[in-house]
Chain A
Amino acid sequence: MGFFELQKRAKAQWLALEERTHIKIGTATCGRAAGALEVLQAFEEELFKRNLNVPIVQVGCIGLCYAEPLVIISKPQSYRILYPNVTPELVPRLVDGYIEGEDPCLELALGTLEIDERGFPSIPELPRFEYECRLILRNCGFIDPTNIYHYIANGGYSSLAKALNMEATEIIQEVLRSGLRGRGGAGFPTGIKWEHCYKAPGSVKYVICNADEGDPGAFMDRVILESDPQQVIEGMVIAGYTIGAQEGYIYIRAEYPLAIERVKKALKEAEEIGILGKNILESNFNFFISIIQGAGAFVSGEATALVEAMEGKRSEPRVRPPRLSEKGLWGSPTLLNNVKTFSYIPIIINKGSQEFASIGTEKSKGTAVFTLAGKVNYPGLTEVPMGTTLRRLVYDIAGGMKGGKKFKAVQIGGPSGGCIPESLLDIPIDYDSLQHAGSMMGSGGMIFMDEEDCAVDTARFFLDFTTKESCGKCTMCRLGTLQLLNLLEEICSGKAKIEDLDLLRDLAEDVKVGSLCGLGRSAPNPVLTTVRYFEEEYRAHILEKRCPALVCKDLIAFYILPEKCDRACEHCILVCPTKAIKGEKGEMKVIDQEKCSKCGTCLEVCPHEYQAVVKLSPLDKLPSGETKG
């Protein structure tokens, strides 16, 4: 079938849906964890009971993770309304109200998707949407990821149709002019990579999509694959056509079963309608894509290590040169890009490089996708123009810090990135400014920390991760990171000397230069940035044996304030897993510091009106007479 015919069919199908009252439920992994499948079932049962024929469309993730499970109810002559945190119990009310009746249940709604002249807060007017610029997230949460016609109806595959009528060199010029840089972390100019692969001699070439997403705090690639997989496929097919490849692979980490399932389905659909396979869209171009499941190793995300894994070996990075674009998978020229990088391609081809390049900063064009997690009010996923400030992200998009606490730092880019303190909140974020601040874009995962998070412990956490994940090829990475971890553990437990701080810095620099791949070269970033921006905190741990954030276990104690303990209440005694709390009924409760495992359960259950349990640091703050744990 030609593209025109497909488009007609898709538009008719989409219109038929839009003309009816229908329900959209976000059932990506995050929605499911919050109970979306139960809500889906409740809707199905309720509609069945009432004999209503209302289509339910399962969509991906809109990025407002704090509001999951999220339901959109659309009525043709009325507003599309977004309902947050829907539970099965709310379902009959919604069906009564807005599906059968005309009551939009505003008290349950987050907003409408249209501007409302009655002054009801409409979604596009929420600050978050005002500052966002959704290019590759535009369809996420609005289309059915398992229905290729939804994608086509919303502009999908028109770029491929256009590209198939362009010369390869023209496409490369467009990508070059767009200024697109790889979204896998390092920010290598995509156009240059494509040109290398195009020019590399050889009749067999490969395209690989890196969906390994190894940063233990980032999930945008998962969201894209679960919510709009066709755009990634479209980008890959265009890449294949451009460089002259016939085979493509998507390497997905095994921890993402739903993403794998949805991509599988998407590939099958694309094959069925002639967008993958032989004679794509009636051209003479052939392209096939298969899925390769990762086996779980952070280093596999590194381009050359990924190729090793695909060849069935231990995933150890190769020495470059040769680059993958000359000698990649099974020795052939290989183009490897990240999920997001491929997703931008259809947009650039469709709208033209100029429009893309008009967004962003001088050296970083387009938008950036960030996952927002940690101590903010509205965690989730966002897409903003490059150059947006951190302040805007924290306060306007993520809704500020939870509980009104003070912003302390944000960790960007996971184990390869660094901690950025409050004093840098106003820097415009792009590849270069982050590098300058000692961090890097990396995955784009952002974890916000408040005063209750310890900078030293965070560095220790990341080093613990990288030591476990180092493939062991380079000595500096294998043993250097271990030494760094040991030093950090000594600091966290109050056993370090002040000279260790210099040792930590020196060693971190050595690990950086002594490692072959980005894992070892960036592993010290969390250490170096926390030492640079939070040296005081390190000193408190070392010199005063005090953890200012009250996190490091060896330096804190739990204590029950005698003047606040209610005496009659026994909550803490009942829950203490180590039976460390003593005190008869009606008596004061006391924690036996020898037995206390510092799990914090007593603090969690102590009724809010008493707040008798507190954390103390350093240990000598404990009143004398208490045993010091």
Chain B
Amino acid sequence: MKQQEEDLSRLSSIFETYGNERKGLIPILLEIQKEFGYLPKEALKKVATFLNLKPIEVWGVATFYNQFRLTPLGKTHIKVCMGTACHLAGGRLVLEALERELHLKVGETSEDGQFSLERVACIGCCMLAPVIVIKDEIYPKMSPFKVEESMLPYRQESESFIEKRRKD
């Protein structure tokens, strides 16, 4: 999906809290992501200027860590655990079922901005494997069969969203 224009004026208050030392880079990036849901490119440039770093250095850090995203998330963000316990309990099949159900590949956000799919490593609930997290709620003991059911409420939300957009 295409990058939208973000209101970067919110950056200055983040900058103020952390000060312009290099050690603030990762906390600042985390904070920006919390604010926007991802790291807008323009924001990264501003961070570089603020910390007196080359843009490539900021880019290097932003692309190194798994937490950072360079594209916006969907409204319903789904994380699939691919930790060891979840893998052994069939996590990959669950992931494939989600990909099929949502017509998305892992790491992507849907065209309409409704869904995004991400793989994560252990979220610390291994005895409930395999688990997925939909909008921060943990769904334990998943199976491909349960995927369709778990997506139902969110699909409806999405369809009404499409409806609404059609009317507008």
> 28 A–B contact pairs at CB < 8 A?
A29-B125, A30-B124, A30-B127, A30-B128, A66-B127, A68-B127, A217-B85, A222-B124, A254-B30, A254-B67, A295-B29, A296-B66, A297-B65, A300-B65, A310-B23, A312-B23, A313-B25, A314-B61, A373-B126, A374-B84, A374-B126, A375-B88, A575-B145, A577-B100, A577-B101, A578-B100, A600-B90, A604-B145
Q: How far is the CB of A602 from chain B (nearest CB, A)?
A: 9
Q: Tell me the B70-113 residues at the A interface (CB within 8 Å).
A: 82-85, 87-88, 90, 93, 96-97, 100-101
* Residue A122 CB within 8 A of the other chain: no
* Residue B68 CB within 8 A of the other chain: yes
Please measure, in the bound complex, the distance between the C-alpha atom of A217 and the C-alpha atom of B122, giving whole angstroms.
6
Knowing A219-B124, A296-B65 touch, does A411 contact B145 (C-beta < 8 A)? no
**In the A-B complex, the 7 residue pairs with the closest CB atoms:** A217-B84, A216-B121, A295-B65, A296-B66, A312-B25, A216-B83, A379-B127
The reply to whether A599 and B97 form a contact with Cβ atoms under 8 Å apart is yes
Q: How far is the CB of A231 from chain B (nearest CB, A)?
A: 19
Q: How far is the CB of A70 from chain B (nearest CB, A)?
A: 12
A contact set with B: CB distance below 8 Å: 29-30, 32-34, 65-66, 68, 214-219, 222-223, 254-256, 292-298, 300, 309-315, 330, 371, 373-375, 379-380, 411, 414, 445, 447, 449, 453, 458, 461-462, 465, 471, 575, 577-578, 597, 599-601, 604-605
Most chain A CB neighbours (cut-off 10 Å) among B67, B68, B85, B127: B127
Please measure, in the bound complex, the distance between the C-alpha atom of A33 and the C-alpha atom of B128, giving whole angstroms.
8
Per a CB cutoff under 8 Å, which of B93, B121, B129 touches A600? B93
Per a CB cutoff under 8 Å, which of A33, A445, A471, A601 touches B125? A33
Please measure, in the bound complex, the distance between the C-alpha atom of A310 and the C-alpha atom of B128, giving whole angstroms.
33
Q: Which residues of B contact A599 (CB under 8 A)?
A: 93, 96-97, 144
Q: How far is the CB of B12 from chain A (nearest CB, A)?
A: 19
Q: Which residue of A lies closest to B129 (CB)?
A: A373
Q: Which residue of A lies closest to B140 (CB)?
A: A33
The reply to whether B122 and A315 form a contact with Cβ atoms under 8 Å apart is no
Please measure, in the bound complex, the distance between the C-alpha atom of A255 and the C-alpha atom of B123, giving whole angstroms.
7
Per a CB cutoff under 8 Å, which of A371, A379, A604 touches B143? A604
Q: Which residues of B contact A411 (CB under 8 A)?
A: 84
The reply to whether B122 and A295 form a contact with Cβ atoms under 8 Å apart is no
Given contacts A219-B126, A330-B23, 6 further A-B contacts (CB under 8 A): A34-B128, A66-B127, A223-B124, A254-B67, A601-B144, A605-B145
Q: Which residues of A contact B126 (CB under 8 A)?
A: 65, 217, 219, 371, 373-374, 379, 447
Knowing A217-B85, A293-B30, A314-B64 touch, does A600 contact B144 (C-beta < 8 A)? yes
Main secondary structure of the interface of B (DSSP, over half): helix
Per a CB cutoff under 8 Å, which of B25, B29, B88 touches A374? B88
The reply to whether B121 and A295 form a contact with Cβ atoms under 8 Å apart is no
Please measure, in the bound complex, the distance between the C-alpha atom of A214 and the C-alpha atom of B121, giving whole angstroms.
8
Knowing A312-B61, A314-B61, A577-B97 touch, does A373 contact B84 (C-beta < 8 A)? yes
Please measure, in the bound complex, the distance between the C-alpha atom of A575 and the C-alpha atom of B143, giving whole angstroms.
12
* Residue B10 CB within 8 A of the other chain: no
Please measure, in the bound complex, the distance between the C-alpha atom of A216 and the C-alpha atom of B124, giving whole angstroms.
8
Please measure, in the bound complex, the distance between the C-alpha atom of A215 and the C-alpha atom of B29, giving whole angstroms.
24
Q: Which residues of A contact B60 (CB under 8 A)?
A: 314
Please measure, in the bound complex, the distance between the C-alpha atom of A601 and the C-alpha atom of B128, giving whole angstroms.
19
Q: Which residues of B contact A577 (CB under 8 A)?
A: 97, 100-101, 144, 148
Per a CB cutoff under 8 Å, which of A32, A447, A601 touches B88? A447
Q: Which residue of B lies closest to A375 (CB)?
A: B88
Please measure, in the bound complex, the distance between the C-alpha atom of A583 and the C-alpha atom of B126, giving whole angstroms.
39
Q: Which residue of B lies closest to A68 (CB)?
A: B127
* Residue B22 CB within 8 A of the other chain: yes
The reply to whether A312 and B84 form a contact with Cβ atoms under 8 Å apart is no
Per a CB cutoff under 8 Å, which of A33, A296, A578, A597 touches B131? A33
* Residue B26 CB within 8 A of the other chain: yes
Please measure, in the bound complex, the distance between the C-alpha atom of A309 and the C-alpha atom of B67, giving whole angstroms.
13
Q: Which residues of A contact B101 (CB under 8 A)?
A: 577
Please measure, in the bound complex, the distance between the C-alpha atom of A32 and the C-alpha atom of B124, giving whole angstroms.
11
Q: How far is the CB of A331 from chain B (nearest CB, A)?
A: 13
Per a CB cutoff under 8 Å, which of A66, A217, A312, A379 touches B83? A217
Please measure, in the bound complex, the distance between the C-alpha atom of A296 and the C-alpha atom of B64, giving whole angstroms.
9
* Residue B24 CB within 8 A of the other chain: yes
Most chain B CB neighbours (cut-off 10 Å) among A293, A313, A373: A373
Convert B14-33 into 0s and 1s, putting 1 for each residue whose CB lies closer than 8 angstroms to a CB of A. 00000001111111011000
The reply to whether A465 and B121 form a contact with Cβ atoms under 8 Å apart is yes
Most chain B CB neighbours (cut-off 10 Å) among A256, A379, A380, A462: A379
Q: Which residues of A contact B87 (CB under 8 A)?
A: 461
Q: Which residue of A lies closest to B60 (CB)?
A: A314
* Residue B11 CB within 8 A of the other chain: no
Per a CB cutoff under 8 Å, which of A34, A292, A575, A578 touches B140? A34
Convert B143-160 into 0s and 1s, putting 1 for each residue whose CB lies closer than 8 angstroms to a CB of A. 111001000000000000
Please measure, in the bound complex, the distance between the C-alpha atom of A513 and the C-alpha atom of B66, giving whole angstroms.
27
Knowing A256-B124, A447-B88 touch, does A311 contact B22 (C-beta < 8 A)? yes
Please measure, in the bound complex, the distance between the C-alpha atom of A294 and the C-alpha atom of B68, giving whole angstroms.
11
Per a CB cutoff under 8 Å, which of A461, A465, A604 touches B144? A604
* Residue B138 CB within 8 A of the other chain: yes
* Residue B120 CB within 8 A of the other chain: yes
Q: How far is the CB of A381 from chain B (nearest CB, A)?
A: 10
Please measure, in the bound complex, the distance between the C-alpha atom of A315 and the C-alpha atom of B64, giving whole angstroms.
8
Please measure, in the bound complex, the distance between the C-alpha atom of A216 and the C-alpha atom of B90, giving whole angstroms.
15
The reply to whether B64 and A216 form a contact with Cβ atoms under 8 Å apart is no
